[in-house]
Amino acid sequence: MAGNAAAVYPAAVHVARLHPAGRGISAYALSRGAGISYPSAHRLSRAGGPFGRMHADTLDWLCTFFRVQPGALMEWAPGRRRH
């Protein structure tokens, strides 16, 4: 990215809202259950938390853990900027 331009990520990831109890999920539980690193789980478990890019394997692990299609995890959000 050149200069001071903010990076644009036109997709938002919504993991917190998928927890069956409707109250989000802890980073620890997400990390252990989905098999992803704790730092990634921490960012994903926070509503609106910053997340720049996601590998296909991570998306697969999350879909398997929550038993959902990728569309349940991701939302297109044009103009969303990472700060």
* Cα→Cα distances 29→5, 13, 18, 68, 72, Å: 35, 17, 13, 17, 19
Q: How far is CA 4 from the centre of its chain?
A: 25
What pLDDT shows up at residue 31?
92
Over its length of 83 residues, how does the chain's per-residue pLDDT go in tens digits?
Answer: 444 444 545 566 767 666 665 556 788 988 999 999 998 888 887 766 666 778 889 889 989 988 889 888 887 777 655 55
**How far is CA 36 from its chain centroid?**
11
Among 80, 24, 22, which Cα is nearest to 52's?
80
* Cα 56 off chain centre by: 12
**Entry pTM:** 0.69
